[in-house]
Structure 1
Amino acid sequence: MSGAADVFALGGVLVAAAGGQPFGQGTPMMLMYRAVHEPADLSALPQGLRPVAAACLAKAPERRPTPRALLDLLAPLSTAEPAPDAAAHPATEVSPATPPPALSPATPLPALSPTPTAVSTAVSAAAPVAAGGLADAATVSARPKAAAEVPGSPPDKRPVGRVVAAAAGALLVLGGAVYAVSSYDDSSFPPATHELVLPESMVDGAYGRDVEHRLPPDPLPDDAGRKGATHYSADYTVTSTGTEKGVAFRTVEVYGSSGRYKDPEEHRDGLMDAMTVTGGETVGDPPRTIRPPGSDVDIRCTTVDAKTVCGWGDANSAVAIRFTPSAALEAAAEETRRIRAEIRRPIATSTASP
């Protein structure tokens, strides 16, 4: 095992210890979806610790530092500042000719070379770039001329936190996991013409909203494929009206977002994965794309663990709906069409985006 999951958990613990919530609040499905698809919220952390947490919370396991790499990178730097009782217990002096600690060759970062010389060179080049963007981090570079320094010169007493932050920042640059604030051109996204609205009841009163698990809409950060989106989730239960009408489902869980999407079906698939992928799931019906009569969009459906999940993706919304109990995919797709017609509503002309 590589320990990548433990490193990811460490990143979450760092944020939680600072009083933050890396992926916000919400249902387990919502949190799992954000953990897979959304950048973590690191605002609760001091600036100097954010690169460390960001590296640990990288989405791709191979881009996270290994536990060994974290120790090799950070532990030696903790002695940069003497402890309060250093006079009673003087630190062992290190020869100036000793090369600085290098990243472990086991670190699964594509930019790293297994040779210590190449690693030191890479860190020397990357650290100033990474540190330059941190408010509390000093610029750190490799010191290849340490052996030529004047003997007896005072030791470098850079604050430990700054050294750690800069080293972790270098790790981020080398791993290609730098978090940057970007702006996205409005003209590259489709116009916003519709939005989601989760009513108290839907499908002619057949399903009523579960008020005990009500969550407010949750704004989502813009990214290269999505802009101005808001996440929605709500659970519905069949009502007496629905029972009288003979609807096929007892519960309906709506999980989606509305905004402006370049590839809405990709977002739909991500939502459906969040509702179905557990690592030990049993697939009853493989995913299939269905266009029910009267629908203007394809609906994708699958049955996993005795629950049927359907979803759609259009220019302004991406939604996954889980039905219990399972049913024929055609029946679930038709019910999804009816639900979509009720919860996807036009935006007033005065407020629609250009």
Structure 2
Amino acid sequence: MALLIVAWVAIVFSKGGTDGDFPEARYRLTLPKTLLGGEYEMEQDFSDSPQDSFEQHAESALGGRDIRAAVAIYTPADRGGQLNVSGMYGRFKDADDARDTMLKDAADPDGISVARAPEDFRPSGSDVTVTCQVVAKADLNMRVIMPLCAWNDGNTGALIGEIDPAVSSGDAKDVDLAGLAERTLRIRAELRQPIS
């Protein structure tokens, strides 16, 4: 399931634009060893993996410039499951389109389908829209669901996917997407740092 989070990078769309169409780079993403007050601990950091393909595809697919990847898997400290962070930072011409494309392409690989359509959330005090959906994968006569939330603010963007055993075998309509959007904003606050 972790691979589906980054599967969208293989889909390439041609999007151009002059340099003046892109925002100034003011923020980047970091990958701390823990997230959400120690609730999650990093299991694997893909920062040292070859990222050229990821970054080139992200630039083309998401209409970005100067893209750098921030991709990691986190595991809960006290229960089963997994939190996947597929992030990137740079300069994105159209933040809303980039966010929507991330979610659309996450449901594109064979065997993955949208179990609950994307919904936009902008919790009180937020400066960015978070869009969440639920995807499903059928495997060995089992259907597993996973919620995905994404943001893009023009400088940073990420697709956050959480595999929770308490949720994965349930009904997509019962997933608390509003709560996950707020949780995604908390994760964003921990990952996003000003460029010094």
Give the strand-richer structure, 1 or 2: 2
Instruction: Tell me the equivalent position of 2:69.
Output: 231
Opposite residue 216 of structure 1, the aligned amino acid is: D
CA contact (8 A) 1:289 1:301 kept: yes
Taking structure 1 as reference, are residues 237 and 268 closer, same or farther at Cα in structure 2, changes over 3 Å only? same
Give the helix-richer structure, 1 or 2: 1
Is structure 2 residue 51 aligned with structure 1 residue 216? no
Instruction: Tell me the equivalent position of 1:258.
Output: 89
The one of 322, 335, 354 equivalent to 2:161 is 322
CA contact (8 A) 2:149 2:180 kept: yes
CA contact (8 A) 1:265 1:318 kept: no
CA contact (8 A) 2:84 2:161 kept: yes
Higher relative contact order (CA 8 A, sep 6+): 2
Offset at 1:185?
Answer: 4.2
Alignment gaps of 5+ in structure 1: 1-26, 40-181, 244-248, 349-354
Deviates more, 1:260-269 or 1:302-311: 260-269
Distance 1:34 1:197 in 2: 20
TM (norm. structure 2) is 0.75
Is structure 2 residue 151 aligned with structure 1 residue 312? yes
Distance 2:26 2:179 in 1: 28
Aligned pair count? Answer: 171
Distance 2:71 2:105 in 1: 13
CA contact (8 A) 1:29 1:274 kept: no
Taking structure 1 as reference, are residues 328 and 37 closer, same or farther at Cα in structure 2, changes over 3 Å only? same
3-state SS of 2:11 partner: helix
3-state SS of 1:301 partner: strand
Distance 1:294 1:195 in 2: 21
Q: Deviations over 1:147-196 (max 9, x none)?
A: xxxxxxxxxxxxxxxxxxxxxxxxxxxxxxxxxxx9x7433211111011
Opposite residue 33 of structure 1, the aligned amino acid is: W
3-state SS of 1:37 partner: coil
CA contact (8 A) 1:196 1:344 kept: yes
3-state SS of 1:210 partner: strand
Alignment gaps of 5+ in structure 2: 137-144, 168-174
CA contact (8 A) 2:128 2:153 kept: yes
Taking structure 1 as reference, are residues 31 and 283 closer, same or farther at Cα in structure 2, changes over 3 Å only? closer
Deviates more, 1:283-292 or 1:194-203: 283-292
CA contact (8 A) 2:107 2:113 kept: no
Opposite residue 314 of structure 1, the aligned amino acid is: D
Opposite residue 283 of structure 1, the aligned amino acid is: V
Distance 1:189 1:294 in 2: 25
The one of 23, 43, 54 equivalent to 1:190 is 23
Percent same amino acid at aligned positions?
A: 29
Instruction: Tell me the equivalent position of 1:303.
Output: 134
Taking structure 1 as reference, are residues 194 and 31 closer, same or farther at Cα in structure 2, changes over 3 Å only? closer
Instruction: Tell me the equivalent position of 2:125.
Output: 294
CA contact (8 A) 2:29 2:88 kept: yes
Offset at 1:276?
Answer: 2.7
Q: Considering only CA atoms, is the larger Rg found in Structure 1 or Structure 2?
A: 1
Q: Deviations over 1:256-306 (max 9, x none)?
A: 210001112222223223433334445332110011233211100011121
TM (norm. structure 1) is 0.43
Taking structure 1 as reference, are residues 281 and 347 closer, same or farther at Cα in structure 2, changes over 3 Å only? same
Instruction: Tell me the equivalent position of 2:40.
Output: 207
CA contact (8 A) 2:5 2:161 kept: no
Distance 2:47 2:106 in 1: 17
The one of 85, 100, 108 equivalent to 1:269 is 100
Opposite residue 271 of structure 1, the aligned amino acid is: M
Offset at 1:215?
Answer: 4.1
Alignment root-mean-square deviation, CA:
2.7
